[in-house]
Amino acid sequence: MTILLALFASLFIGVSDFLGGIDSRTRNPLETSLVVFLGAFVTLVPIAFLLGASDLTIHDLGLGAVSGLTTSIAYVGFFAAIGHGRISIVAPISAAVTALLPAIAGIAEGNTLSSIARYGILCALLAIPLVAYETDDGEANDDWSTRRQVLVSILCGVGFGFYFFCIGHTHRSAGLWPTVATLVVGIAIIAPLAARGNVMPSLASLSRLAVAGGVALGVADAALTTALQRGPLTVASVLGNLYPLVTIALGVSILGERVRLWHAAGILLAVAGVAMIAAGQ
């Protein structure tokens, strides 16, 4: 069940990031992030009520709230980097760091994995940069330098990875409410910044792309939270970060981007990794 939920989460994270990334190229990243968070909140809360929580503790809510501090900043940075740079740099680096940190933490905490599952995780990690890498072909017109994009992407990955780690240490009995707390804190941080920057969205000016991205994120959060709570953290965090596969598919089908040789290699590695992880459980 963890594998299926994590893969489902990757699908919707990829959709959300694709939509939010496109939106951030014409709007302020604070505005995009706020609308995405609000859309995710409105989507996730009914699901949380539906699934319920048998034992919601302050500890679980606290972990969710703390993750909201880093997640909110990471999202603003992520969308800013995409708006001023390239998804081909930002997405693979942030995804790799996001997957790597909780995976290392899970192994350090004693999660037992078979040899085939470990090799599967390695394949999945190697697939992330391959499926999202693009060459410039001399056409790049970035506002930010490559070094700056890489640095911001790494920091965003750390922020997202902290979310995986925190939610992975909440109890299943808490349901989805720790992630709801993440979104509440995120909104509370981003909203004043958006207001101060005069980019607070109104109902009339809401971006449909960002709203759709928020709905997708809410669905992804529901699946990902459950996967992280069920564990193991290592498996859930790696498979939950295969979303660049979705970004590539959307780029091909919607934007007409080409699938190059290394993209195909990355896709094969990802599929092999998923199969090996599933076989090793």
- CA separation for the pair 97, 58 (Å, rounded): 29
Helix axes 146-168, 87-108, angle to 10 degrees: 40
Q: 141-145 contacts: CB < 8 A, separation 24 or more? A: 142/84, 142/85, 142/86, 143/84, 143/85, 144/81, 144/84, 144/85
User: What is the identity of the amino acid at 259?
Assistant: V
> What pLDDT score was predicted for residue 257?
63
* Residues above pLDDT 90, as percent of the chain: 45
> What pLDDT score was predicted for residue 138?
47
- The DSSP string of 84-104 is HS-HHHHHHHHHHHHHHHHHH
- CA separation for the pair 153, 148 (Å, rounded): 8
> What pLDDT score was predicted for residue 218?
97
Beta strands in 108-265 (DSSP E): none
> What pLDDT score was predicted for residue 142?
67
* Residues above pLDDT 70, as percent of the chain: 90
User: Does the CA dihedral 121-67-156-217 come out positive or negative?
Assistant: positive
Helices (H), the chain: 2-23, 29-51, 58-84, 87-108, 115-132, 146-168, 177-196, 208-230, 233-239, 244-255, 261-279
Query: What digits encode the pLDDT tens for the residues 192-215?
Result: 999 999 999 888 888 999 999 999
Q: Considering the entire predicted model, what is its pTM?
A: 0.84
pLDDT surpasses 90 at 3:
no
Please answer whether residues 242 and 9 qualify as being in contact, where contact means their C-beta atoms are separated by less than 8 angstroms.
no
Mapped onto helix, strand or coil, the DSSP state of residue 117 is helix
DSSP state of 231: S
Lowest mean pLDDT among 184-188, 191-195, 238-242: 238-242
pLDDT surpasses 50 at 161:
yes
User: Does the CA dihedral 236-238-244-246 come out positive or negative?
Assistant: negative
Paired tokens of 62: 């606290």
> What pLDDT score was predicted for residue 239?
84
* Average pLDDT of every residue of the chain: 85
Query: What digits encode the pLDDT tens for the residues 112-158?
Result: 767 887 788 788 778 777 766 666 554 455 678 877 888 898 899 89
The segment with the largest mean pLDDT, out of 92-106, 135-149, 160-174, 250-264, is: 160-174
pLDDT surpasses 90 at 267:
no
pLDDT surpasses 70 at 42:
yes
